[in-house]
Amino acid sequence: MSAPSDVTVTLVRGDITRQSVDAVVNAANSSLLGGGGVDGAIHRRGGPAILAACRELRASRYGKGLRPGQAVATTAGKLDARWVVHTVGPVWSRNEDRSALLESCYRESLRVAAELGARTVAFPAISTGVYGWPMDDGARIAVRTVLAEAAPPVEEVRFVLFDADAYGEFEEALAAARP
């Protein structure tokens, strides 16, 4: 569908490391030194250049790591992409509303990607894996924030969903967001 800013939002079921896009967003952990899930898959397929760039960021601007809601770009190594944008999702909490941090992940990743000149950006469902965010709410926040924030030069935002459940929740969220 078309956002007010004319950005096309697409849903794909598959592996985010297999996408041909300008920027692949990584659901990173705050150490920037790799982890499981999307993070592990990106480092495995992208090769050591991404980890080397992350280590440089740790040695310079992000000595304490990346905070939830922040985003920073590196090379995409051997991925079919120009950049990986690393963002750290909030861990789901039953007692505290951390949705502003999850919104910030999408907004900041788009800002970083746009600054680099990315036209196509692929996102995973941030925080919905190890970090435990419920998929229905994670999908609503993702779709709402991308529709509100995506702007040129970004032309396409692609949500890459690993399984049928995630795909279904994003489909519903996108349908509900349609004006």
Strands 83-88 and 8-13: unpaired
Two tokens, residue 112 = 């970083």
Build a one-symbol-per-residue string for 74-113: x at contacts with ligand ADP by CB under 6 A, - elsewhere.
---------------x------------------------
Write down the catalytic residue from 15, 22, 39, 80.
39
> Residue with structure tokens 């990173």?
28
Q: Does 70 bind ligand ADP (CB under 6 A)?
A: no
Q: Does 15 bind ligand ADP (CB under 6 A)?
A: yes
- Please report how close the Cβ of residue 36 comes to ligand ADP at its closest, in angstroms: 6
Name the one range near ligand ADP by CB under 6 A: 2-10, 51-59, 94-102, 121-129: 121-129
Q: Does 41 bind ligand ADP (CB under 6 A)?
A: yes
What backbone phi and psi angles, to 5 degrees, belong to 171? -60, -45
Angle CA 130–86–131, to nearest 5: 15
Q: Does 66 bind ligand ADP (CB under 6 A)?
A: no
Say if CB 139 and CB 169 are below 8 A apart. yes
Q: What is the largest CA-CA distance in the chain?
A: 46
Mention every residue, 6+ apart, whose C-beta is less than 8 A from residue 58: 31, 32, 33, 65
Q: Does 23 bind ligand ADP (CB under 6 A)?
A: no
One residue of 126, 141, 143, 174 binding ligand ADP per CB under 6 A: 126
One residue of 43, 76, 124, 167 binding ligand ADP per CB under 6 A: 124
Two tokens, residue 36 = 């499981």
User: Does the annotation mark 137 as catalytic?
Assistant: no
Partners of residue 8 on adjacent β-strands: 2, 156
User: What residues are labeled active site?
Assistant: 39
Contact set with ligand ADP (CB under 6 A): 15-17, 27, 37-39, 41, 89, 124-131, 160, 162, 166
